[in-house]
Amino acid sequence: MHNRKLILSLKDINSNKKGNIAAIFSLSNGYMGIQASDPITGANDVGTLVNGFFEYSPITYGEPAAFYPKNNQTIVSLPSLRKIRLLDENNHSFNFSELKNISLDLSNGQLTEVYEVSNQGGEKIEMTVASAIDQKKLAFYGIKFSFKPISYQGKLVVDKHYKIERKNNDGVGEVEDPRKTRLVKSISKHIISSDDFREVIKIETKESQQSVTIEGYSTSEKMLTKRALKTGFDITYIYKVSEGVKNKGVSIEQNSFDKIKEHSHKFWEDVWNQSEVTVSGNDEINLALHFNIFQLNQATGRDGKTNIAAKGLTGSGYEGHTFWDTEMYMLPYFIYTNPEFARNLLIYRYHTLTFARKRAKELGIKHGALFAWRSINGEETSAYYPASTAAYHINGDIAYAIGKYYEATDDDDFMEKYGFEILLETARFWREFGSWTEKGGKKQFEFLTVTGPDEYTAMVDNNYFTNRMAENNLKLAYTVGLRLAKSNQKVFDRLNSSESELREFHHIADNIYFPMNAQYQINAQDDSFFSKPVWPFNKTPKTKYPLLLHYHPLNIYRYQVNKQADTILADFLFPETITDSQLRREFEYYETITTHDSSLSRSIFSAVAARMGKVNHAYRYFTDTVRLDLTDLQGNTEDGLHLANLGGSWLDVVQGFAGMQVSSQGLLKIIPHLPAEWDSFQIRLAFKKRLLDIVIDKSQTQIVLLSGDPMEIVINQSQQTLTKIIKINN
C-alpha cells in the first residue's frame, strides 16, 4: 500500500449508530465474522456468524402450490466473542459511557477501540480493545482488553464467562422488511466445560442438525479475575470456533494473539500486493475503495463449499443467503486479482448441482439444472417465485462467470473437473425451458414468463438480459465442449454429451430472439415493457422509496420503472454487441426510469457512463457507490454491508474508468477515462498468470509487467507487446 497506512475511523462514517459501527468495523475471514458490537452493553447472545451455519424453519403459505420451497434457511447469530462484564469492588457494573475512538487498520486487519466506562457512582475507567481475526488458521480470533483508571481507583472485576440465555423456543420471528433476517429460536446452547482459564460452549440447531463449538481461553489472567487498577493492566483472550468436525486438529494453546496478528498482517500484505487500487487526489475516495476491497476479501468463503452472503459476514441481513450478486458483482474482482478465491467460489456452485438438478425437474425439466435464487447450501428458499425462481438468468450469470474465469486463467483442470459440467447442465436447461416461435417470418427461440434483474418487472416474455445470458451460456457450452471432446474425451463421455448436442446448443444460440423498440431504436427490456405507462415519478414523494416497501408488487409491475440496471447491465457485460450510438440512446432512456432502489444499480450505470466517455456523469454515480455503506445511503447498513456494491465500486474503477475489457480475441484492453477530480490512479491486475501494474494519469497510461511472460495488450485501441513496461499518451 505504498508505505501509507490507511486507517478507517469514526470520522470517516456518517452515522455513529451502534448497528452501523458493528457492521462497518466487523472482522471476518470467510469462515467466521465478528461484529464490532459494544462489548459492555452489546447483546450477549449475538454478534458472531459462521459461513454456512444455518437453521431451517418452515415457510408458511396462505395458498401453497406444487413445488414451492418448503423451508427458510437463516444464518444463526452466535454468542459474541467480545462481550465482557466489568464490576467494581462493590459488585456494581461498569456500563458503556462513550466510544472515544475506533480505528480499523486496512494494512494489517487490526481493530482498535477506546471506550470510557463508568459505574453507578460516576467513577470512570478507560478500556482499550485490540482485536484481530486469523487469516491462516481460520477458526481463531484474538482480543486484548487494556484497563486504565480515570477516576476509579479500586479493584476491578473482569468476567469473561459466557452467560447462556436458555430460550430454546421453536420457530423464527417474522420481519416485515424482506431485506432483514428472521430471529432464529430453535437452537440450543450448552456449556460443555468451564474452569479458571477456559470455557467451552456448544450451539446446536434443531432442524438442520448442525453444531458449532466455541472455546474461549485466557492467556494470562483467569476468566473471572479481580485486580487493583493502579496504573492499569491487560487481559488477552483467544477464541476458537469449530463447526462440526472442522478445525479439530489445532489446539487453542498452539495459537497466540501475536500469531493471529502476524497471520492477518501477512494475508493483507499479499492482498494489497495483488489487488492494489490507489487514487491520487482524493483521500476520502481512496480510503473508501480500500475499505470496500478489504471487506470483500474478508467475506469470501475459501473452501469451495461456502460462498459470499449478500451481507458477507458483517450482519445477518437477507438471512445470510447467497444470490447472483456473487457472480455478477464480486467474482470479477477475484478473477482479476486472486484467481484461487474465484475458483473456489465457482466450485461452491458445482457442489450445489444436485439441488439445482432437482429444482429443474420440479419445473418440468428432465435434463438440466436450475440454480437457487437465494440459498445457503444450494436449496431454493425463496417463497416468492415471481422475483426468484422466475429469475432464471441466475444460470446464465454463473455460466458467464465461469467463462470469464476460464478466459482469464486458462484453467483447464477446473473446466474438466467442474466448469464444463455446470455449463452443460445450464445449457440443457435453456434448451428445454425455451421454445421455438415464428417472429417476422423467421423461426426464433424465446424464453417466456421470466423475470430479469429488474425486480420491479416480473413474469414477462423475452427479457433482453436473460436472452443475452442464455445465448452466451449456450455458446460457452458449445466451444468448451468441442475443446474437451478433443483434449479429454473421458470427461466428455462421462457427462453423456455429444457433438450433435453441442451443435444444437449453438443453433439455438444463433436464433435467440432479442426484443427491440422501433421508436427509440434501443433494446427493449422485454416484449411488453414499452406498452406500459411510465411510473408517475413526479407524484411519488421521496419517503415512498424504495418502492417495494410502500407499493403492492402488482401496482409496480404495471409500469415502466426499474429497480436497478437491467438492459444496461447486459450492455456492460457484452460491450461488443452494441454500437456506441445505440448504447448512448439506451443509457439515456433507461436512466430516466430507474430508481436505484437496489444497491446493485449505481455501480453499473457508473461503469457504463465511464465507458461512454461521460466521465463526470459516471463519477456522480461512483461517489454514491464507493461510500454507500460509509454514508448509509440505503438506510440499512446496520443489517450488514452491501457486498455486491463493494464489488461494484471496484468494477467502476477497473472496468469503468480504466476501461478494462477482454476482447473477443482474448486480449486485455485498457481504454482509460480519468475523472477530473483525480490526479491519477493505479490498479493491479492478474491475467493469464501475469501480474500487471497500471498507472493512469492526465497525460499517459503506464503498464508494468511485474511477473509472467510478455503479452499482447491493447491500449487506447493500439495493440502493443508488453515485455516489461509500456507508456502510451492518453
CA distances (Å), origin 690, targets 337, 345, 415: 10, 21, 20
Burial 493-531 (b: 16+ CB within 10 A, else e): eeeebeeebbebbbebbeebbebeeeeeebbbbbbebbe
Averaged over 38-46, what is the pLDDT? 83
Residue with cell 492499569: 232
H or E element in which residue 707 lies: strand 700-707
Nearest CA-CA partner of 396 in 634, 211, 574: 574
Cα gap 636→642, rounded to integer Å = 9
Helices (H), 164-211: none
Residue 172 has pLDDT above 60, yes or no: no
- Averaged pLDDT, 536-549: 96
Domains of the chain: residue spans and CATH: 27-273 (2.70.98.40), 385-560+573-593 (1.50.10.10), 659-730 (2.60.420.10)
| CA–CA distance, 37 with 614 (Å, rounded to integer) | 41
Provide mean pLDDT across the span 598-603. Answer: 96
Q: What is the pLDDT of residues 449-481, one digit of tens each?
A: 999 999 999 999 999 999 999 999 999 999 999
> What pLDDT is recorded for position 176?
55
Across 693-717, average pLDDT = 96
Give residue 181's pLDDT: 66
Cα–Cα dist 462/456, whole Å: 15
Active site residue ranges: 455
Cα gap 58→420, rounded to integer Å: 35
Question: What per-residue confidence (pLDDT) applies to 3?
Answer: 43
95-116 mean pLDDT: 94
pLDDT of residue 164: 74
pTM for the complete prediction?
0.95
Q: What is the DSSP string of 39-61?
A: TTTS-SS-SEEETT-EEEEEPP-
**Cα dist from 299 to 24, 337, 553, whole Å:** 12, 15, 32
Strands (DSSP E) found in 85-168: 85-87, 95-105, 110-118, 124-133, 140-149, 155-159
pLDDT at 226 over 80: yes
Provide, for the chain, the percentages of residues in helix, strand and coil under a 3-state DSSP scheme, each rounded to the nearest 5: 35, 25, 40
Q: Are 505 and 461 in contact (CB under 8 A)?
A: no
Distance, CA of 646 to CA of 290 (rounded, Å): 10
As given in the structure block, the three cell numbers for residue 273 are 500486493
Q: Which residues pair with 55 in a beta bridge?
A: 74
> For residue 225, what is its C-alpha cell?
479475575
Task: Count CA atoms closer than 13 A to 540's CA, side-chain side.
Answer: 15
Length of the chain in terms of residues written? 730
Distance, in Å, from the CA atom of 166 to the CA atom of 565, rounded to the nearest integer, reads 46
What is the identity of the amino acid at 593? I
- Grid cell of 714 as nine digits: 491493447
Alpha carbon distance 433, 363 (integer Å): 9
Could you give the CA distance from residue 290 to residue 277 in angstroms, rounded to a whole number?
Answer: 7
For the chain, counts of helices (H) and of strands (E): 19, 32
pLDDT over 50 at 102, yes or no? yes
Kindly calculate the radius of gyration of the chain based on its CA atoms and give it in whole angstroms. Answer: 26
For residue 498 the three cell numbers come to: 455429444
Distance, CA of 612 to CA of 551 (rounded, Å): 34
Residue 183 has pLDDT above 80, yes or no: no
DSSP string, 587-607: HHHHHHTB---STTSHHHHHH
Q: Who contacts 156 (Cβ-Cβ below 8 Å, separation ≥6)?
A: 86, 87, 88, 89, 125, 147, 226, 227, 228, 229
Q: Is 166 a residue whose pLDDT tops 60?
A: no
pLDDT at 44 over 80: no
* Distances from the Cα of 664 to the Cα of 407, 410, 667, angstroms: 10, 15, 7
Give me the chain's average pLDDT, please: 94
Q: What is the pLDDT of residue 1?
A: 45
Yes or no: say if 20 and 637 are a contact pair by the CB < 8 Å rule.
Answer: yes
What is the average per-residue pLDDT within 492-511?
96
The three three-digit cell numbers of residue 460, written as one number: 414477462
- DSSP notation for 307-326: ---TTTTS--GGGG-B-THI
Identify each DSSP E strand in 322-430 by its residue range: none
Per DSSP, which regions of 122-267 are E strands? 124-133, 140-149, 155-159, 172-173, 183-184, 187-194, 198-205, 211-218, 224-228, 233-243
Looking at residue 41, its amino acid is T
Could you tell me how far CA 709 lies from the centroid of its own chain?
A: 32
Is pLDDT above 80 for 489?
Answer: yes
Indicate left, alpha or beta for 703 from its phi (over 0: left) and psi (-120 to 50: alpha): beta
Which DSSP letter does residue 627 get? T
In which band, very low, low, confident or very high, does the pLDDT at 184 lie, cut at 50, 70 and 90?
A: confident
- pLDDT at position 45, please? 76
pLDDT in tens, 579-588: 999 999 999 9
pLDDT tens digits for range 641-697: 999 999 999 999 999 999 999 998 999 999 999 999 999 999 999 999 999 999 999
Confidence of residue 322 (pLDDT cuts 50, 70, 90): very high
The reply to whether omega before 149 is within 30° of 0 (cis) is no
**Which residue bears the cell 466448469?**
419
Strands 668-670 and 711-715: parallel
Residues 271 and 297 sit within 8 Å (Cβ to Cβ):
yes
Q: C-alpha grid cell for residue 173? A: 420471528
Residue 94 phi, psi dihedral angles, 5° rounding: -90, 130
pLDDT tens per residue across span 301-315: 999 999 999 999 999
Residues of the chain above pLDDT 90, percent: 90
Q: Which is more confident, 92 or 169?
A: 92
Evaluated on CA atoms 404, 406, 408, 414, the torsion sign reads: positive
Cα distance between residue 290 and residue 107, in whole Å: 9
What's at 202, amino acid-wise? Answer: K
Give the position of cell 473471572: 224
CA atoms of 659 and 715, how far apart (whole Å):
10
The single-letter DSSP state of residue 480 is H
**Cα–Cα nearest to 577, from 446, 668, 468, 430:** 468
Q: Indicate the helix (H) or strand (E) that contains 195.
A: none
Query: Is the model's pLDDT at 171 over the cut of 50?
Result: no
Asked whether the beta carbons of 622 and 596 are under 8 A apart, the reply is no
Which cell numbers hold the place of 392?
432464471
Q: Which of 698, 702, 680 is nearest to 277 (CA)?
A: 680
Instruction: Give the span between the Cα atoms of 168 and 540, in whole angstroms.
Output: 44
Q: How far apart are CA 237 and CA 413, in angstroms?
A: 42
- Residue at 504: amino acid letter: E
Q: In 120-139, which positions are buried (b, 16+ CB within 10 angstroms) versus exposed (e)?
A: eeebbbbbbbbbbbbbebbb
Residue 185: pLDDT band with limits 50, 70, 90: confident
